[in-house]
Structure 1
Amino acid sequence: MKKKKVLALVLAAAMTAGVLSGCGNSDGETRGGSGESQQASAPAESSAESSEEKSSEAESSDGERMTISVLGIDWGYGPLADSEMEQYWEEMFDVNLEIEWVNYSDYTQKLNTLLAAGSQPDVVQIYAVNESFYYPIFTQAIDAGNFVDLTPYIFEGDNALAKTNAVMKNWSDDFWDQTRYGEGIYILPRSKAETAKGSGIEVRKDLMEKYGFEEEPTTMDELKDWLIGLSNAASEGEGQKIYALDFYGDNFMTNRTKALAVAFTGQVDWGIDENGEFQYIQFNPKYIDFLNWMKDLYDAGVLDSEFALGNADTSKFKAGNSVAYVNEWYSWNQSADKTSNKIFDKNTPDTYTAWALMPVQGPEGMTVVPNTSDVDSCIAISANCSQEKIDKIMQVFNATEEAYPGYDLLMKDGVEGVHYTLLEDGTRDTSDETIGQKRKEGYVGAWNQIFLKTDADQITDKFMRDGAKRASDEAIQRVQDMKDAIVKYLDESKLKNEIANLQSATYDSQWTNLTTDVNSMCTQYVMGQITEAQWKEFVQGIVDSADYKAIQAELKESAGK
């Protein structure tokens, strides 16, 4: 058992933040007092038992705390084992956590190696491969019986998570359907993602005002002309090249362009064509219209002429090097004073002002991209766990604000006095260098990828923050208008990724090889190195291939069509 150094930390937190005295969690069940279950278990339940009873239940036969081993993703922050944040969680849940945070670039390989050996930890975070959580090596492990089917814990009995958990009971059947593999559910979502995340077009409002481009474009043709005009005017006026778009690399399927392509094709990654066949967006005949739109920007000299080399700094929006950035619709949450929450790079002038356009209408749709999956992140539980351990995992990893008051704040910003300083105006200040280091070491704000958290509400969380970091009223109104328009469009269009959770063995084994040259050909077309006829001939070769036809047939079979 780890040596604990957190008693003083716990006491200090209790004195400075009384809301934590009952222990805090992410969505809202009062510990021993709300009538909601603390955990979903097969035959067990524990609503009103004392903390002493909880403690003894979690102890192993020698009186030590139960240990839960975990594998999670480090997104480049370098969290430390046994950090003060980790220790605080352990005290809160009366458990010993053995967590290995693996860098995102190595995570899938690390997990797959463990899966192949059948030696996965008790809890593993599942990282989507080819935008699917149920990727081949994980499904093979499921088929081998190495992971727990969570269906009974979610739906069966009086303590089922979907009935009692303050977050999960709000999830629709459609959402749960996104978690299914065959007849079971083997991933446990940590939250429901924000709606259509990649549907924003951020812009430099200060440049719009300075150069007379305040009338916002509403169609894709207008957007093209607007970007070209503002880029040229700003480049001349500012004495430096300011590109139309933050765009680099040779991948045309990233968030930097996908919303634009959707407006021309009327589909996301996979749609269904007029013949009822599954169709990949880049093989949609109308995709060439998107490429021509991008080519017009390139020919006008407002895209980085060497974008294919992948230099991210050349047209970087946050460095002031472009007028627009296709990104999440909620990522321009600049504070009203422009400095307390500065979304542009630190060395940029404080006069830079962020804004975002309303969704733009294209020939076949709007610049709105539904999520490939509404599951934000998820975990799976090893079948090697005993029933007692599974019950404990259900308690610890599905905690809520009502069960542990103060949990939501703890999840977001850590412990007051350790990970932030509370200012008089309500601002949680993290500017102190020591505090910043402790936040990094403790991975503050990132535990929500393994622990349950409230469903994403980016307007409240980003734009309506307490104190000086709050966005302007104008920005709050705009971002709310954007979300309303996005939700309305999705409700009316029913646009979605048509192959979510469908299975295709040929796709799993051949898709990378089949499409290895597609983005390179996109790049060549935009740069004028191949003709439209050559592009169409290239696409037709893939569409006519045996592998692509097999993928279509297998997806149809998986969908029951």
Structure 2
Amino acid sequence: MKIVKRKKWALSAAVILTVIAMIGCSSETEPPVSGQPLNLSIFAPTYGGALPDTGGQIQMEVEMRSNTKLNITWVPVSDWEKRLNVAIAANNLPDLIVTKTIPGQLFSSTVAQAIENGQLMDLTEYVRADDFAAKYPNLGKYPKEIWDHSEFKGKIYSLPWGVTPRANLSGFIMRKDLFDKSGLKVPITVDELADTLIELSDPPKLYGLQFTGKTLDTSNLKPIAVAYTGVQDWGVDEQGNFMFQAFMPEYKGFLNWVKKLYDARVIEQEFSLGQNASNFSKGNSAMMIHVWWNAAQTSMNHWFAKEAPAEAEVMRIMPVQGPRAYAIAVQPGFNNPVVINTKFDKAKMPQLLKVYDYFASQEFQDFVQYGLEGVHHNVVDGKKVLIPDIPDDGRGQFSSMLNAVYRDFLEEARLAGLSDENYKQMKAVSTFAEETVAKQGPGIPQWNLSSPTFMSKWNAVIKDLDDNRDKVVMGKMSIEEWDKYVQGVTSSETYRQILKEFKEQYAKNRS
């Protein structure tokens, strides 16, 4: 699965204005570890905006709360992978490193090689210890599958970053105002959904479905592909044989579904350019497929952008059913792994884990969002209210530094004032999605496997995939031509070698 680039889906600052006061948070927090502050160097991504000043008020507050002295290397997300690879090659690594995954795999080939070279610490003895949850209660809240998905060759070399619910891409979020006027029935299958979107579409002013990104592998469509194939990216049968989703015969049903929408102008005609002309939040589409906790519209927060109609209103429908599965896409429970340099003093590992546990706390998340009283927010009628138009001092960058809190998005939405109807819809979707995935998948069996051929040659194997998918949808490639393309890839020596390595590693991990 292509990992969605991290965005601030956290209900938005305006939505959560009442939440923190209700949950409770003290600005006078005892450090997580007594004694001398822990000197800690960190390699972390930044997604833009002002960086906090070293020695400035914000960093000093974070250091006081975490009992640390921080030396942070902020790396623009555009240079993230390159800078990481250079640091590994030079064996010049800080203590904590936020690594960048490749699509569908826990570690890139460079990070995997760093593990083989002994550059990164094995954390298994700490994470699998019987008293781990007692010592580190915030990390102990993580579901078991998060730690299972952190395993690599039977050991754990990383801590989670960007923690979210597993069945995250299950939000079918529609414009209620448009749907109510249409008189249509709520769709329950992929075919009914396509027909509904065609009816609601009025291009170019209003598209039926939001399309972001530049490929058909976008997260906005991934759940539909799962509905047709029953797998996400890679599947595995009872004999341990792997299959790639886009090369399965059933995937052609997904391509035809998208083509139907394309022909009816329900999606942008130039979708491959990534212009995002169908932005749901701006009122340019009738529906978006997204994480289920997005678009938490409340009486205090309209949620939609100012460009959207004033009457725009949100509703949620249940994930629709396809020929092979419900339209639910998953992730391993986190976005990226955080690794630790083996040069770090092991005697200080309990203190480092205590610090990371603090960064996984709601208290730290609250500080990142609301900052200091009188500086970033005021308390009005017992509720924290952000001060408008204050200069950006880089407070939000610390969310990117170690984004580790396991948040209760449903409870946050309720406390923020989500209507009873929308709360019931959101809860029904999240519960159904998690229960469905637990029973029947899809899974991500390839996630923590080690295939040298996949890591080194996969991009070359699928170099024409995106273009050919687009051509089918746009009517520039027939299904017969698609079949020939797929046959050429799947019969190649490289592809067969990847399947062989996946099967062997999968069997080894299960033995």
Asked if Structure 1 and Structure 2 have the same fold, meaning a TM-score greater than 0.5 normalized by the shorter chain, the answer is: yes
Q: Which residue of 2 aligns with 1:21?
A: 28
- Does the C-alpha gap of structure 1 residues 377 and 248 become closer, same or farther in structure 2, counting only changes over 3 Å? closer
Query: AA paired with 1:341?
Result: N
Indicate if the aligned counterparts of 2:175 and 2:315 stay in contact, CA closer than 8 A.
Answer: yes
Cα deviation 1:261-311 (Å, max 9, x = unaligned): 111111111002587521111011010111111111111122222222221
What is the alpha-carbon distance in structure 1 between the residues aligned to residue 492 and residue 60 of structure 2? 55
Secondary structure, aligned partner of 1:21:
coil
Indicate if the aligned counterparts of 2:162 and 2:403 stay in contact, CA closer than 8 A.
Answer: no
Map 1:323-402; keep pairs closer than 5 Å.
323-335=286-298, 337=299, 340-371=300-331, 373-399=332-358
Map 1:435-514; keep pairs closer than 5 Å.
437-438=392-393, 441-443=394-396, 446=399, 450=402, 452-453=404-405, 455-461=406-412, 463-466=413-416, 470-514=417-461
Secondary structure, aligned partner of 1:378:
strand
Indicate if the aligned counterparts of 1:197 and 1:369 stay in contact, CA closer than 8 A.
Answer: yes
What is the alpha-carbon distance in structure 1 between the residues aligned to residue 67 and residue 250 of structure 2? 57
What is the alpha-carbon distance in structure 2 between the residues aligned to residue 497 and residue 189 of structure 1? 16
What is the alpha-carbon distance in structure 1 between the residues aligned to residue 183 and residue 25 of structure 2? 52
1:529 to 464, 476, 488: 476
Say if 2:223 is the partner of 1:259: yes
Q: Which residue of 1 aligns with 2:258?
A: 294
Deviation at 1:146, TM superposition (A): 1.1
1:218 to 176, 188, 191: 188
Q: Which residue of 1 aligns with 2:507?
A: 560
Which of the pair has more CA radius of gyration?
A: 1
Query: AA paired with 2:191?
Result: D
Which shifted more, 526-535 or 381-390? 381-390
Map 1:133-144; keep pairs closer than 5 Å.
133-144=106-117
Say if 2:92 is the partner of 1:119: yes
What is the alpha-carbon distance in structure 2 between the residues aligned to residue 249 and residue 399 of structure 1? 34
Q: Which residue of 2 aligns with 1:48?
A: none
Say if 2:470 is the partner of 1:519: no
What is the alpha-carbon distance in structure 1 between the residues aligned to residue 123 and residue 289 of structure 2? 37
Indicate if the aligned counterparts of 1:248 and 1:308 stay in contact, CA closer than 8 A.
Answer: no
Query: AA paired with 1:296?
Result: K
Secondary structure, aligned partner of 2:137:
coil
Cα deviation 1:139-167 (Å, max 9, x = unaligned): 1111111111112222347xx42443213
What is the alpha-carbon distance in structure 1 between the residues aligned to residue 489 and residue 477 of structure 2? 17
Deviation at 1:86, TM superposition (A): 1.7
What is the alpha-carbon distance in structure 1 between the residues aligned to residue 327 and residue 338 of structure 2? 31
Which shifted more, 303-312 or 387-396? 387-396
Q: Which residue of 2 aligns with 1:269?
A: 233
Deviation at 1:81, TM superposition (A): 3.4
Say if 2:494 is the partner of 1:547: yes
Deviation at 1:400, TM superposition (A): 7.2
What is the alpha-carbon distance in structure 1 between the residues aligned to residue 493 and residue 327 of structure 2? 33
Map 1:160-179; keep pairs closer than 5 Å.
160-171=131-142, 173-179=144-150
1:538 to 482, 485, 489: 485
Deviation at 1:20, TM superposition (A): 3.3
Q: Which residue of 1 aligns with 2:79?
A: 106
TM-score by length of 2: 0.88
Deviation at 1:353, TM superposition (A): 0.9
Give structure 1 stretches of 5+ with no counterpart. Answer: 1-16, 25-30, 32-37, 39-50, 59-65
Query: AA paired with 1:130?
Result: P
Query: AA paired with 2:176?
Result: K
- Does the C-alpha gap of structure 1 residues 309 and 92 become closer, same or farther in structure 2, counting only changes over 3 Å? closer
Q: Which residue of 2 aligns with 1:430?
A: 386
Query: AA paired with 2:407?
Result: A
Query: AA paired with 1:543?
Result: T
Q: Which residue of 1 aligns with 2:173?
A: 202
Q: How many residues align?
A: 484
What is the alpha-carbon distance in structure 2 between the residues aligned to residue 400 and residue 276 of structure 1? 38
Query: AA paired with 1:491?
Result: A
Query: AA paired with 1:381?
Result: I
Deviation at 1:246, TM superposition (A): 1.1
1:150 to 118, 123, 126: 123
What is the alpha-carbon distance in structure 1 between the residues aligned to residue 191 and residue 442 of structure 2? 22
Deviation at 1:413, TM superposition (A): 2.9
Deviation at 1:393, TM superposition (A): 1.9
Secondary structure, aligned partner of 2:28:
helix
Q: Which residue of 2 aligns with 1:315?
A: 278
Query: AA paired with 1:430?
Result: L
Indicate if the aligned counterparts of 1:85 and 1:444 stay in contact, CA closer than 8 A.
Answer: no
Secondary structure, aligned partner of 2:266:
coil
- Does the C-alpha gap of structure 1 residues 543 and 503 become closer, same or farther in structure 2, counting only changes over 3 Å? same
TM-score by length of 1: 0.81
Query: AA paired with 1:358?
Result: M
Deviation at 1:538, TM superposition (A): 0.7
Secondary structure, aligned partner of 1:259:
helix
Deviation at 1:192, TM superposition (A): 4.5
Deviation at 1:388, TM superposition (A): 4.4
What is the alpha-carbon distance in structure 1 between the residues aligned to residue 291 and residue 42 of structure 2? 30
Deviation at 1:535, TM superposition (A): 0.8
Deviation at 1:392, TM superposition (A): 3.3
Query: AA paired with 1:19?
Result: S
Identity %: 28
Query: AA paired with 1:359?
Result: P
What is the alpha-carbon distance in structure 1 between the residues aligned to residue 355 and residue 42 of structure 2? 12
Map 1:403-414; keep pairs closer than 5 Å.
406-414=363-371
